[in-house]
Amino acid sequence: MERLHWVQHRCRQLLAGDSGRGWYSASDGLPNKSFLDCHSSPQRCGGKRRMVLACHGPHQQEYQAISKDYKSNAIHTTKYSLLTFIPMNLFQQFYRAANLYFLFLALLNWVPVVEAFQKEITMIPLLVVLTVIAIKDALEDYRRYLFDKKVNNNVVQVYCGKQKAYIEQCWKDVRVGDFVRLSCNEIIPADMLLLYSSDPHGVCYIETANLDGETNLKQRQVVSDLPLQGVEVTPESFHSRIECENPNNDLSRFRGYMEHSSGVRVGLHNSNLLLRSCTIRNTETVVGIVVYAGHETKAMMNNSGPRYKRSQLEKRLNADVLWCVLLLIVMCLTAAIGHGLWMKQLKHPIFLVDGETSPALAGFYVFWTMIIVLQVLIPISLYVSIEIVKLGQIYFIHNDLALYNEQLDSRIQCRALNITEDLGQIQYLFSDKTGTLTENKMVFRRCNIYGIEYPHEENARRLEVYEAEKNEAAGHSVTLKSGCSGKSLSCRSLSCNRSSVSLHTLTAESEEEEDRLSNHIQPMTSAFCSRMAKEVVPDPELVRKLNWLCSPLLPMSGISSETPSSLELTYITDFFLALAICNSVVVSSPSQPRHVVPEARTPLKSLEEIKLIFQRFSFSPFSALSTLSPHQIRGSPRSFTSRLFARGKIGSFSTSPNSTAEGSEAGQHNLETSNPRCKPDVSARVEEGDTEKVVDDLKSSQTDPDVEDITRDVDTESYTDDELLYEAESPDEAALVYAARAYCCTLRARSVESLLVDLPGIGSLAVQLLHILPFDSTRKRMSVVVRHPLTGEVVVYTKGADSVIMDLAEAPKGAEQAQEIYSHIREQTQKHLDSYAREGLRTLCIAKKVMEEEEYELWLKRQLLAESSIENREELLLESAQRLETNLTLLGSTGIVDRLQEEVPETIEALQRADIKVWVLTGDKQETAINIAYACKLLRPNDQLLTANCGSKDACAAILEELKLEVQHAENGVTEQTAAGNREDSSSGCVSGFVLVIDGRTLDWALQEELKTDFLELSCRCKAVICCRSTPLQKSQVVRLIRDQLNVMTLAVGDGANDVSMIQVADVGIGISGQEGMQAVMSSDFAISRFKHLSKLLLVHGHWCYSRLANMILYFFYKNVMYVNLLFWYQFFCGFSGSVMTNSWVLIFFNLFFTSVPPLIYGVLDRDTPADTLMQLPELYQATQTSKVYVTFMFWITVLDAFYQSLVCFFMPYFAYAGSDIGELSFGFPINTSALLIILLHQVIESHTLTWIHALVLVLSGGFYFGFVLLFSVCCVTCSPPTNPVGVETLQMSQPLFYIVCVLTTVTALLPRLLFRALHGSLHTSAVRKAAQVDKVESEKYCRRMRRWNVSHSRANRLPVNADNPSLETSTGLVVS
């Protein structure tokens, strides 16, 4: 039938002409214009198609012709080879402007007229930098090479044409067109089209954790209409051609067709494609043909490499380097002009001077000579030092135990290595709600059915008990039940020899990262079947009503005004049936990987009898509301159940009068169901608190052999509820399935075409599954189409967001009383939904629709056309789903609790105290978001809530203007209070008093060009903003608006795929490895496991990283400018000739070796404030932002300080040795020594932390300097021509004047810095000083607490000690006192 509809559809397209013909419709056709318009990106789709043939099939010659252009399956993520390493690495390094600059200087020094030093010496700094970076790159590339080798040498079974069998080959030898056979737990080596599955329904399950981090199973389907369907395919029997789109990076899309030898074409879609790096699960054997291999696979094409962002500090650094270049040019121009004037005025030189060169030309030569001499002013080593310091900072962040999650065995990941300092400058934080602020561990809390609310108070108390247990167990790893500890990966009658190794084909990650991700899979899966989610305590009132269905023949005395009507029982049964089957949950158990519906185990005889009973009484409890008569609506439960169950045995009904009479006699006894866990009289057990076991104390007086056989069959095939594992795509689905199971509506098995469900009072039934319409963000709902097992009607069950379902639910046509009842149900449901939202519960609505056969047939035709269509398939499927999901009957709603993560309120409070504005961007209802905002202290009771909800652009403009006026009026009032002296009431300011709440529709208008200014102005005046019902696109638009318009540092944090866009747009993106896979983590700069880690990451590590790097960069500029100025001052005494007063080796090594290591230690280990103090006083983070350690003002202050110190360092030795006969090298040695001491001690003054490591590095730096110059002066005779350095330093160090000069110069140069620090600390009471005071107070408290502890423990230990040693009593008492 499906093929017929497809052929009709293709004929219409062909008859319509070329305009309607798709690009798959003819082998020589061109791509359809609409397709190219939608996918114009060259990476997403090429201009041609790909033809795939079986490599050992009947099309050998054609295969050889087309396959030569296809890539092999070997992957190469390395950048270099042995031959290309040196040229390619040098090319990449000289891509940096700084390296090119120093290469230019090295080459310039080879020009004789401007030569300043020996030619080899000027090459040393550049060679050292290039060598260090080359070694680092080589080690990284070698790691990639080992990883590639490991992946390429994995083995897989590939069909061999010569041996006519599957043989083991390495992954790298797999080619496009190869037939590959995989077993359970094997990793897919290439993108393959699924041709065969051992599953009888042609289904294969894969796990995509290695691709996107999601551990829930994805279902893939064998290509439909294969000629040899159900038989393992081999190349000899495969005569089809495959034509598909060119390789692209779209993981969710695959388009093409398979043309059989008969000429019939079958469309190919993403559900037929097995992606590389995914893992086969719960399937014994699959066979596929490779369509994309190696770097053409979708996984490899999504490998964008490591993330790179430029930090704000780096941008400022580049600007200051330009200032240094300008300063260098000014100094060189000064020297050039001075040398020209000096040459012009020189009449009778007493030394050799080139008199033939004109003064102007000589000045031009000196300009370039001075460029070489003063080259140190441009900090070439600064860039390398910054990279080393950031690696050190990341190491300490990565190994911080406070950022380690013991329960998940995961620690923080630093994926972007160059923006650590930006963590200390965040001004706006944008957070998702679900999974970020909350646990994303959904637990069923309460529900509403038929307009009646069931509070599940026992369930609420159970959650409180679990919360208390969780708090008691804080800090300890959680041991989950073995039944839920992970997926069942075993396959019966199957030996899975190959372990499921996590092979990261996206990036060449380290072994440590592989272990982390593989270890992370288990807790993620366990979260969906946690103890809290599984053990739902039923509501006693709801159980009492269900007992009317399970045990209908109760005494007449039980009937009262509170007894449920037959319509209400219908709603209740349909509600829980919808919870059980409206999902994509895979059922498994420890002993069986996947439960499928047994074909011959369904009690068909019983179902036929049930249907006959229904027809005889003309009553359908599962029909639409409009079909019920007033009499049926008013019917009592007794009449309903007596008609539903004609005999005392469930499942053995008879339509004869005799059997009916027998049933009435058997009615004196209660019923026995085929479900061993769903027994009558459940409510009594619940009220007594016994919810684990329900005992059937009502036995039937008659037995039926047929029913016993059926019951035995079902029981042998079923498992107890505790053994069932539900593998859900989301925690919402798992929570609802467990809730249905708590009411004995248990999902036991699933196959492609049917579901096995236990219904209360009926037993196990096979429900025919006709269609699944999966959830998508456009529809915001999911539906299943089934054929009801009791009525045979086609029923649509839908669950989704309340805002959507309530609009789709319409009042039935028919009896007036039915309409009144339905209106009442709708009104009460909406009331309860609002109540749930105010409690912070996640709400879902459940609805159904009964379709007539004609209506269903009409929809089915359009649905089959949409499914078989190649062009516009997604649009057609969406249209078909929307056509089906109309005129729904509202059944009820659910409230699912998603508790806050631990310490979220404290974290948000700390961030707000740090002057970080926190915005929440969520897709939840407004009431839910507001409730969560109150719970996490984003909203406080004294805050004023501003709500913006409107449906048009004009209304949006009006409401924004109104809210602005309201805020402005409040600001004026606060200003008047402040002027009057009432500062206590206005201390927090008006900004901290307003919180804006805006919904998605209004946000759409507010983000438009005409209104975004008003929205921006209003939001800036608010303490926080909550965006509800926002889409992923809106989230990214909001972040971009704030980042660009306000020019502030933004941070976005989220845990799901819908947060990826805003994470990538923000300056710093943080992903939380939660329950929704790893998409957010893979797109982030930093990955954490809990929201509370943000406080330590920002307030401590962010503060430290920014402070350390900023101070280190300023220190680098200081020491370079200070030392270069010494050479510049000397030019005034040597005719600006470019001469230097020290040997060139010391000059080059001074910044390269002697003073390079201390700044690295300073940048990695310095702590201006202890971590505990930063956590206790978040205001210190704000102080760092306002003071801005590294700004233009501080740069010029540092440069001026360097100028002053250089003047002192040069002229004090100059005046000390004035009139003496020392040489230039003897004059330069005390200057160099004083400069070294000043630079090293300057860092000691600026350091906030001094450890033995600092002391050791300072001593080694000074010792290295003196050791080098002494060795140089003793051994080197001709190392620095034309001067002779032998004995210069040894002679100087033997004279007392040398030491006096060095000490006086050092003290004089550093005295202003010391006085400034002392006065600043005394007069300016900074937040840091307050922090130090707090730290001192805390230390005193700690000491007092320890003294009390010692006293108490000494008293406690006194008796046992004195009992054995009486002589110790006096001494012990003395110690205690």
pLDDT at 579 over 90: yes
Instruction: Give per-residue burial for 635-644: e unless 16+ CB within 10 Å, then b.
Output: bebbbbbbbb
Catalytic residue among 148, 199, 212, 432: 432
Which stretch of 448-457, 608-617, 988-997, 1270-1279 has the lowest confidence by average pLDDT?
Answer: 608-617
pLDDT of 1328: 54
Give 1077's pLDDT tier (boundaries 50, 70, 90). low
How large is the average pLDDT for residues 858-869? Answer: 85
Residue 645, SS3 per DSSP: coil
Name the pairing type of β-strands 794-800 and 781-787. antiparallel
How large is the average pLDDT for residues 225-234? Answer: 70
Per cent of the chain over pLDDT 70 is 71
User: What is the secondary structure of 884-926 as a DSSP string?
Assistant: HS-SBEEEEEEEEE-PBPTTHHHHHHHHHHTT-EEEEE-SS-H
CB atoms within 10 A of CB 627: 14
pLDDT, one tens digit per residue, over 645-673 is 333 333 332 333 333 333 333 333 333 33
- In whole angstroms, give the CA distance from residue 25 to residue 5: 16
CB within 8 A of 780, min separation 6: which ones?
A: 800, 801, 803, 804
Give 628's pLDDT tier (boundaries 50, 70, 90). very low
Which stretch of 488-502, 721-735, 902-916, 970-984 has the lowest confidence by average pLDDT?
Answer: 488-502
How large is the average pLDDT for residues 696-701? Answer: 34
pLDDT of 696: 38
Name the pairing type of β-strands 443-449 and 1068-1072. unpaired
Per cent of the chain over pLDDT 90 is 20
pLDDT of 552: 47
With a threshold of 0.75, does the pTM exceed it?
no
Give 154's pLDDT tier (boundaries 50, 70, 90). very high
CB within 8 A of 1072, min separation 6: which ones?
A: 435, 436, 1053, 1054, 1055, 1080, 1081, 1087, 1088, 1089, 1090, 1091
Higher pLDDT pick, 729 / 966: 966
How large is the average pLDDT for residues 1213-1224? Answer: 86
How large is the average pLDDT for residues 785-790? Answer: 89
**Helix (H), strand (E) at residue 179:** strand 179-183
User: Which tokens is 344 given?
Assistant: 């012009």
CB atoms within 10 A of CB 320: 19
Which stretch of 218-232, 386-400, 554-568 has the lowest confidence by average pLDDT?
Answer: 554-568
pLDDT at 18 over 70: no
How large is the average pLDDT for residues 1344-1365? Answer: 52
pLDDT at 145 over 80: yes
pLDDT at 1312 over 70: yes
pLDDT, one tens digit per residue, over 703-742 is 333 333 323 333 333 445 557 888 877 778 888 999 999 9
Range picked from 70-79, 518-527, 1273-1282 for highest mean pLDDT? 70-79
Q: What is the mean pLDDT of the chain?
A: 74
pLDDT of 1343: 65
pLDDT, one tens digit per residue, over 243-301 is 888 888 877 788 888 888 888 888 888 889 999 988 998 888 999 999 999 988 888 88
Which stretch of 55-59, 339-343, 485-489, 676-680 has the lowest confidence by average pLDDT?
Answer: 485-489
Give 618's pLDDT tier (boundaries 50, 70, 90). very low
Instruction: Give per-residue burial for 64-96: e unless 16+ CB within 10 Å, then b.
Output: eeeeeebbbbbbebbbbeeeebeeebeeebeee
Range picked from 484-498, 918-932, 979-993, 1343-1357 for highest mean pLDDT? 918-932
**Helix (H), strand (E) at residue 280:** strand 279-281
User: Which tokens is 378 given?
Assistant: 């441009």
pLDDT, one tens digit per residue, over 1126-1167 is 999 998 988 888 888 888 788 888 887 888 888 999 889 888
Which stretch of 91-105, 942-956, 983-997, 1241-1255 has the lowest confidence by average pLDDT?
Answer: 983-997
pLDDT at 692 over 60: no
Give 350's pLDDT tier (boundaries 50, 70, 90). low
pLDDT at 382 over 50: yes
Count of alpha carbons within 13 Å of 1214, Cβ hemisphere only? 12
pLDDT at 518 over 50: no
Residue with tokens 């893939």: 220
Give 880's pLDDT tier (boundaries 50, 70, 90). very high
pLDDT of 599: 53
User: Which tokens is 308 given?
Assistant: 């790179």
Which stretch of 42-51, 175-184, 356-365, 574-583 has the lowest confidence by average pLDDT?
Answer: 42-51
The answer to whether 432 is a known catalytic residue is: yes
Helix axes 1224-1246, 1103-1131, angle to 10 degrees: 160
Give 979's pLDDT tier (boundaries 50, 70, 90). low
Helix axes 1103-1131, 1192-1216, angle to 10 degrees: 40
Range picked from 68-77, 561-570, 641-650, 880-889 for highest mean pLDDT? 880-889
CB within 8 A of 668, min separation 6: which ones?
A: 553, 701
Which stretch of 174-183, 976-985, 1318-1327 has the lowest confidence by average pLDDT?
Answer: 976-985
Give 515's pLDDT tier (boundaries 50, 70, 90). very low
pLDDT of 1121: 92
Name the pairing type of β-strands 1050-1054 and 1068-1072. parallel
